[in-house]
Structures are given as structure tokens and as C-alpha cells.
Structure 1
Amino acid sequence: GIIMALLIFSFQIGLSVIVILSIIALVVLNGMKKLNELNKKIISSQEEMNQGYLEYLKNFYNSHQFFLKQFTKEKINFLFDEYNLNVYWRDKNLNSLNVVSEILIQGLSFLVVLVACYYYKQGKINVGDIVFFYMLTTYLIEPLFNFIALVFEKDEVKILYERYKEVIPDKSGRKLKIKGHIREIKFDHITYSYGYKEPIIEHLDLVINSSLWLKGDTGAGKSTLLKLLMKHDDLIKGNILINGVSLTRIDSSSLYRKIIYIDKEPIFYQESLKFNLLLKNNNQRLLEKLLREFGLENFIDKLEMMIEIDGKPLSSGQRQIM
């Protein structure tokens, strides 16, 4: 509407404005193509970063038990740095485009005043007309930048990362280490429930000082009992003691050196099959021997195959065996 008003009032000045706006549009269009490519990289790297966080959270206790905390943190840091690098290049290109656009916009205003002054010298327009033309032109600037900003914001993706609070025991007090072998595990009057539901374990007293086969119906609380022993969750009431020491006072690393818990639902690192099987061990011969013993010798040549967090492309049976 402003451009139409300019053309009606002065075709020459209106035409000059259209020419400059066309140049600005071409510059912005070219810059937007580059920004869209960078935005695609940001979206892709953000997805990888989110997958890294998901992998870290799902494998949190595995990482502690098998002492891979440093590896998982370094992997997340790498993915986070890669994401930030893509954001940096996008922002740098965006700033450059804004600077160029601003120069062209100011050039547009300058040109309008210059042309208007030329017609003023010829006596075709007065000073009031110059001010009017300048005001109409400046009114074009804000909508143009708003439109550019709208296009950019459409492709931007907010970082989903928030500061995750690691679910680990409070380190404010000095933690104790388990010395020697575990001689006794005692569940002292423990009660536990999921959320506000009825307790799945209520007032349980159990002393374990020898090998024990824990048997019960589905949902009776077998896995829950083991997860409580591994500090995967907190009790509502009672206490768990190992060699007479409360579990809350025992250092997690010391606990995981003595007890290993593997969930019935396999969770993998988003790495090669070889990494998932060996972790920090480098015994390739033992790995191949075990694969043959478990009837999985066809995977010996596929150890570099990438595995998803849920174990794909392995079948459900193969995931359990692996």
C-alpha cells in the first residue's frame, strides 16, 4: 500500500524505491537459502544431541556399573559442541545478512531523499513533499525486517536441553566403600510404591547371607526389589543395609564394583555392536568365542554394525542374548 502511494504521488521516486527493494529482496533471498541449509544442520545435530541425552539417561546405571561415565559425558559434550558450532555459523551468517540488509535499507532512504532533492531543485516538489516521501519510505523498513525475522524464526528450533539433575546420591557427606566381600544384605522393614499407588512392597524384612533364588509372579516386586538395592529409586520407609552399613551411606562406584544388575529389557549404547559387547574390555578372542558358543557366529563379521538404543536391527531374541 505504501509503494502504491509512492507511485501515485511520484512515479520516479516510487520506481527507485521498487528497484532498491528488489535488490534487498534478492540479497535476503540468497542469504536465506544459506541460512535454511544451516538450519537443517542445526535440526539434524539437535536430534543427534537429544538422542545422546536419551542414551545417557537410559544407560545411566549401566554407565556407572561399567565405569563408562567419562565416555558418555565426552560423547554428549561432543554432540553439544557440534550443535553449538552449527548455531554459531547460522548466527554469524544471520548477523552478516542483517548488516547488509541494514546498509541497503539506509541506502534506500538516502536515495529517496537524494531523488526528492533533485526534483525539489527543479521546482517540481516542495520540502513538505520530501518529508512525506521520506516518512513513507521509513515506514517500509520495520515491516520488511519483521518479515525477515518471521522467516528466520520459522526455521529456528529451540534447544531442548535443560540442566538435568543427575539422579545420584548426595555427595555432600562422605560416602563409605564396601570393604571385602558382601557378607550380608538386609532389607529392614522396607516399603515402596510407584507414585501415589498402593505399595508394591510393604513392611518387608529380608536377610540375605547366602545365594538366593528370588521367585514370584509377574508384578510381585522382584525387579523392584533389585532396583532398590541398586539405588535406582528411593524407599518410602525402612532401610537397606549391606554388611551392616546403610545403602544411602555407600559410595555408588563401590556398590557397582560388587553388584551388577542387568535389566530384562536390553538397553544399548548407540554405538557399534563391538563396543556394546566389549565396553572397556579389549579381549577380541573371548568375544568371538562367546559369540560362537551362543550360536551367533554370523555376527563376527558384523561387529562394526551400528546398534540403536533399543537394540535395532537385532531381533528381540538376539538383543537378550547379546
Structure 2
Amino acid sequence: LELSKELNQEYALKTMQNLIYQDYDYIDGLEKGTLLSRSQNLFELSQYFIEFYHVIFIDSILILFILFFILSIQLSLFFIVLLMMVLIFLVFYFYSKKLHIENKKILEQKEHLNDGLLEFQENYFQTIQFKVKKMMKNKLGYLYDNYFMDVYHHDEITNRHQIQLEALIQIMIMVVLLFSIFIYKKQQMTLGTVMLVYLLLSYMIDPLMKISVFIAMHDELQIIFERYKEMLPEKRERKKKIKKIKSIELKHVSFSYGYTRPLFDHFQLKIEKSVFIQGKTGSGKSTLLKLIMNQLQPTKGEIVINGINLQELDLNSYYSHIKYLNKTPVFYKESLRTNIIFDRLFLEDKMIELLHYFMLDDLVNGLDLKLDEQGGFLSSGQGQLVMIIRALLSEPDVLILDEAFSNIDQERLQLLINYLSFQKIIVIIVSHQINMMNCQFDCVIIDSGKIVGEEDYGNRFST
């Protein structure tokens, strides 16, 4: 019990906690259900090592003791028993090779099944609204069948082999017993010794079976252990830290999704003060922001922060100075207060001041109410404003708003623009709201990954 507690803490708890230090692209590249499955499998690692200690300190010692005892009785008998054990382990070794593919299939199908369940939960309202219950029912049934057919096939092979293995062990014991009787007939061994040999061999059956099961488990856990190592954050080389972001420059940046035509081709842009970016859907606005946030990496060119290549910067340092918000607010299952200031209670007065400024006085009385991941009692516009207040309280050097105020009413939007215009920060705004182009920001129009218009705020674009 104590060992299980320690191992679960080491392999499950610490690993899940350390995921927060993983690179963004690792987490972003996983399908929804994959992380859930891999986290659940971590508990199997501790069980594996408990079995390992049992095999090493109990079963193996028992078998070695029996072999030593048989050696003291008769040398030729010892070699026959040893040969028997080698044969059993060889049979099981080749069998475990067969299981490897089946084990891998089961783990993959489990991840797909978890992914399907999460998809069902997330899209439940759409499933009812568009009357596609049958489609979701069939999809879940298909995933379920695939997973449990693989499990059934795996268990079928395991059962068949365990029967064969146990039969082989019994045959080997009978062979050793017959050989012992042959020695007894030659009057080289007493009948009592023959019975003792049989008794000792009978004691070997259980530890032999446990060791063989452990070998099979080892093959299965080897896959889980490889996944476990993937979940561990790599030791990073020391990178440069920054004190303040003064400029962001994209130098001859090229980028494409997969093998499609490049979205950006030798794209160049330098941002040293607040800028409004406008363009049609699919023009590359959001991709540009993800490149700046290092959520995507350019295929060619470089992104330079204060004259330093972004890839040379310590990302923890970088993200502490830049904040990115999109149109979908994301909350923790905590109180509204915790969602805005977290554990920084010294920011409470400033938070209340901003809530009053943005005419969210009714939220001041609801700071202790708990939110869910979608924002709970907050409207979509309130949720977006709360996210912006949270970002402003962290006093970033750069604030990126990617359609982050699409649901905010015009009156509060004007308050936001006025507030941002007086802050000594770089604000990068992406919005389809054309009237935003009349704010006191530089304007950049992007089309098909190219800049087709640039003006400073002294001039105005017509609609």
C-alpha cells in the first residue's frame, strides 16, 4: 500500500502536474481524448512496478531456492529442470512478441473511444438540435466495438497461451518426475526424495506463471512507459530573457499548413506601437498572431523580438510580457474573483476599479460565484470583458485581441478603446468591425497573406 501510494505520486501526480511545463505544440498536437487516456494509464505503471518487486523479491528468490535445493540433490536433475525453465521462458518470449501489436491497438482504440465520449459531451446540444442522435449513437457504437473487439482478441490470445503454457509446465514436471523415478529405480535416490522433488516442482508452478504474466505485462507497459516519457517535459537549454517587449518584427516569414500553398511568403512587418489589422476571412490574420505567439513556427524567415530571434528566447519570460485573447473566453472552474486575479489578492482594488469603469457593477457583487469553463452566469460580452480585464491586470507590454470584443456592445467598446489608447503598451487588434479603424491606431490591411494597405492613425481608410 505504501509503495503504491509513493509510485502513484511519482508517476501519476507529478507527471500530470509537470504537463504545465510541456511545450505548447505537444499539448496542442494531441487529440482531445489522448491526454485523458495517457493520464489514466499512468496508474498502471505503479501497478507494474509493484508486480516487478514481487517477482524480483518473492517469486525469483523462491525459484532460485528450489533450483539450488534440486542441485544439492542431483546434478543431472538440476540441468533438466533448468532446461525446462529456459524452454518455458523462450515460449513465452515469442508469445509476448505477438501481443505487442495487440497491446498497441488497444491503447490507440482506447484513446479514440475517450475522444468520442468527449466529442459527444461537447456537442450534445448540437446533436439534439440537428437531430443527429443516430449518427452519434452509431459513432460511439463503432468506437466501442473497435476497442472491445481488440480487447477480446487480446484476451483470447492470452487465455489460449496461458492454457498452453500451463500444460507445458505440467508436462515438464511429469518429465522431471519420471526422470526422478528412473534414478530411484537405479537406487540413486530414495522414494522420499522423489516425493520432495515433485513437491518442490509443484511450488514452482505459481511463481513461474506470475513471472510469465509479468513478462506479458512488461510488453504492454513498455508502450505505456514510452508514452509516459513523452509526457515528461524535456530539459531546456538556457535561453535569453527579456525585461520589456519594445518591438516585434517578422522578417521574410513564410508559412503554410501542410502541403498547401504558402499562406505567407516572405512576409515582412514591424510592430513598435499599437496596430489594427484588418482583412477578409482566411487572409491570414489569426495565423499571423499565432506565429507571433510561437503557437506556430514559420517554415522560413524569422520572428524577432527586440532584435532577438523568438526561438532564442525563454518562452516563460516572453509570455509574461505578452497576452493573447481570442473571441472565445476560457475560464477555470473557480469563483469569478479567482478567474480574474487568481491568487494575487493585492490586485482586488484595481479589479473592482476596472469593473466599475467598464460598467460591470453587477459583477462586483458576484465575485464569489463559481464559473464553469464556458463562463457560467456571464453573458458572452461580459465574458470577453472579464478576459480583457484579467489581461490588463497583469500589465503586459503587448496585448493581442483577436476578435476578442466581438460581443461587446458599442458603449463599452468605446470605453475599452479609450482606456487602451492611454496605456503605454502595444495593442494588436484584429477585428471585422470596420468602425474600429477610426481609432487612434496604425492600420494594416492583409489579403492572401500580403499587406495591401498601411496607414498611420493621422489618415483614415474609407469603408
Is 2:206 the counterpart of 1:144?
Answer: yes
- Contact kept? 1:59, 1:268, Cα under 8 Å: no
How far the C-alpha of 1:222 sits from its partner, in A, is 2.0
- Contact kept? 1:191, 1:203, Cα under 8 Å: yes
Matching of residues 1-322 of structure 1 within 5 Å: 38=4, 46=11, 48-49=13-14, 51-57=16-22, 98=59, 127-128=188-189, 130=191, 132-149=194-211, 158-159=224-225, 160-162=227-229, 164=232, 166=234, 171=238, 175=240, 177=242, 182=246, 184-252=247-315, 255-262=318-325, 264=327, 272-273=334-335, 276-279=339-342, 281-283=344-346, 285-286=348-349, 289=352, 290=355, 293=361, 295=363, 297-298=365-366, 300-302=368-370, 311=373, 314=376, 317=380, 321=386
Task: Tell me the number of residue pairs that the alignment of Structure 1 and Structure 2 aligns.
Answer: 247
Secondary structure at the counterpart of residue 261 of structure 1 = strand
Q: Separation in 2 of the partners of 1:55 and 1:91?
A: 30
Amino acid aligned to 2:368? I
- Contact kept? 1:193, 1:236, Cα under 8 Å: yes
Amino acid aligned to 1:232? Q
How far the C-alpha of 1:211 sits from its partner, in A, is 1.9
Q: Separation in 2 of the partners of 1:294 and 1:215?
A: 34
User: Relative to 1, partners in 2 of residues 1:313 and 1:53: Cα closer, same or farther, differing over 3 Å?
Assistant: farther
Q: Deviations over 1:37-77 (max 9, x none)?
A: 949x967985555543445448799xxxxxxxxxxxxxxxx
- Contact kept? 2:303, 2:309, Cα under 8 Å: yes
How far the C-alpha of 1:144 sits from its partner, in A, is 1.6
Amino acid aligned to 2:267? L
Q: Separation in 1 of the partners of 2:48 and 2:383?
A: 37
How far the C-alpha of 1:214 sits from its partner, in A, is 1.7
Normalised by the length of structure 2, the TM-score is 0.38
User: Relative to 1, partners in 2 of residues 1:285 and 1:205: Cα closer, same or farther, differing over 3 Å?
Assistant: closer
* Structure 2: runs of 5 or more not aligned: 27-42, 71-185, 388-463
RMSD: 5.5
How far the C-alpha of 1:167 sits from its partner, in A, is 9.6
* Structure 1: runs of 5 or more not aligned: 1-33, 62-81, 110-124
User: Relative to 1, partners in 2 of residues 1:49 and 1:265: Cα closer, same or farther, differing over 3 Å?
Assistant: farther
User: Relative to 1, partners in 2 of residues 1:266 and 1:248: Cα closer, same or farther, differing over 3 Å?
Assistant: same
User: Relative to 1, partners in 2 of residues 1:49 and 1:223: Cα closer, same or farther, differing over 3 Å?
Assistant: farther
Greater Cα offset, 210-219 or 133-142:
133-142
- Contact kept? 1:277, 1:287, Cα under 8 Å: no
